Amino acid sequence: ARARLATLLNRPLYDLDRLDLAATTTLQAPLQGQVSDYLRQLADPDFARQVGLLGERLLTPANTAQVRYSFTLFELTADGSRVRVQTDNTDQPFDINEGSKLELGSTAKLRVLTTYLQIITELHDKYAAQTPATLKKVTVDDQDRLRRWALDYLIQTPDKSLAKMLEAALDRTYSASPGESFFTGGGLHHFHNFRNEDNGRSPTLRDALRESINLPFIRLMRDVVRYTTYSGANNSAQLLKDDNDPRRQEYLADFADREGTTFLRKFWKKYQKKDTQARLDTFLDGLRPTPIRLAAVHRYLLPNATQESFNLFVRAHLTGVKTNEKLSDERLQKLYTAYGPGTYDLPDQGYIAKVHPLDLWLMGYLLNHPEATFSEMVKASRFERQEVYSWLFKSRHQSARDSRIRTMLEVEAFLDIHQRWQAVGYPFDHLVPSLATAIGSSGDRPAALAELMGIILNDGVRAKVVRIDSLHFAADTPYETEVINDPATGKRVMPVEVAQALRGALSQVVDAGTAKRVAGSFKLDDGTPLAMGGKTGTGDNRIEAIGAGGRVLSSKAINRTATFVFYIGERHFGTLTAFVPGSSAQGFKF
């Protein structure tokens, strides 16, 4: 609370101690103390055994002390989501809940399901009032499966209420087979389920959430990406089919200008309030580092940098990353020359780096013009906006062109999906443009997941998070000033029906799914059980070196996480996270 207060007042802790100030927090001190003591006791093997934490895929008596636990509990009240408990067993200033970026595994499935149900709501709003005859005339691309399903449902179903449509959407089935290759993130990838016995199933999305099955959510995310790609009237996927339009070049120029400006604005939002180093860190954080990608980025952003500076940059950003090639000075010299200024145009350089070319251009522009306004960027990028989209329509090397097109479309789709996620509390400036985001590759924070759960519990309204209740400066002096929390109304970010459908699906995770050990744990004084729901997720975060044919040559653990984001009753929600940092995570199977 003191650290947060220092941030609110823009004062270091030293100055804070010298203010004549009394502050109150929303934390419940007795409960905070009890939870902190409980989490510390979990390091004791005997206590861990008593509460059922020892066993297969759990802990052993030898490693209980290595696990860090973090817990946050919120209460919905009339003036916001009040933080009642926020603690861990580390006794360190670093806060896992809010200060981390962790792969929290299958908790990402809750975000994907939320986006999916919001898309179904959009389709309901657009089409529910139309007659079946009109709906049958709607042209739908073969790839846009969500729109196709929505239209078929509304044509065939007499009851067109949104609540019934959302329940039907949760009952849609997806294959759990890992036998398919997925083109995502610029290449072909394979995904696996946690349990091999799920491989032959085609569960409903409700069942896939309850049992945390990966492949249905990979395929659902692919449908969400395709819906996003094909939903706009002027998207690039539609333009590709327009080969015979005599106005094509003029149309393309307008499209490139408009679309390029839209994406520049999205990229600018993540950089605008940061200094140069923070901007560069943000850009590189969205890059999956390989020697070639780093070479393409560095030689574009810093074309005049020396070979020595280049070598330091590449090696620094590959620290801890296993690669299949040895980074000798000779190899770095070849990379420095091969990706030098003028060797590749902007679209090529972006494709090599697997970033949107306009994001790469904007980063370079901001390095040279750190105080530039958005209108200046738009004016300066007139040529680049045309250049970035021109290659989409070149006819040579069709297979390579198709690969680029799909990569570009996916990057653009994830920019839209990112905005949807941010609206419900996702805390970071970007998503990894890959279907693996559906199972956690883009990372998350426990506190942000708790905020999403609060929105779901609060019928789709994002309430203000309250930790500091009041400030009382200089009591009994002429300068006495009291500041109290403003009971601002929350903002609706999700339809009531979507929140209710998600609560129903999440309750099954506790009743019969991956969190069933807590079913029935919480009761009121009269014995009435409290309704409970949530989502589990495990992050086994590793650096792997891959050989020919996809063979894993080595695997090194970075950390391991297990998270449960939950609601209890009608007012309380939060997260519990177990976290093992560093190479010691290698020895854990929870």
Say which residue the tokens 């070979």 belong to.
Answer: 307
464 or 390: which leads in pLDDT? 464
Cα 565 to Cα 177: distance, rounded to the nearest angstrom:
27
Say which residue the tokens 């941010």 belong to.
Answer: 422
Q: Where residue 92 falls among pLDDT bands split at 50, 70, 90?
A: low
For β-strands 465-466 and 80-88, DSSP reports them as parallel
Model pLDDT, residue 241? 58
Contact 532/518 with Cβ under 8 angstroms? yes
Other Cβ atoms closer than 10 A to 493: 20
Model pLDDT, residue 252? 62
β-pair partners for 504: none
- Tens-place pLDDT, residues 395-451: 455 555 566 667 777 888 898 999 999 999 999 888 888 999 999 888 888 889 999
Model pLDDT, residue 206? 95
- Tens-place pLDDT, residues 498-537: 999 999 999 999 988 888 888 888 888 998 889 999 999 8
Of 118, 35, 71, which Cα lies nearest the Cα of 499?
Answer: 118
- Tens-place pLDDT, residues 155-187: 999 999 999 999 999 999 999 999 999 988 877
Both tokens assigned to 307: 């070979």
Model pLDDT, residue 425? 92
Examine the pLDDT at 549 and tell me if it is beyond 50: no
Contact 104/578 with Cβ under 8 angstroms? no
Residue 56: burial class (beta carbons within 10 Å; 0-12, 13-18, 19+): exposed
Of 285, 234, 185, 269, which Cα lies nearest the Cα of 389?
Answer: 234
DSSP string computed for 490-501: PEE-S-HHHHHH
CA atoms within 13 A on the CB side of 129: 3
- Tens-place pLDDT, residues 474-507: 999 999 999 998 877 889 999 999 999 999 999 9
Examine the pLDDT at 557 and tell me if it is beyond 80: no
Both tokens assigned to 558: 């970075």
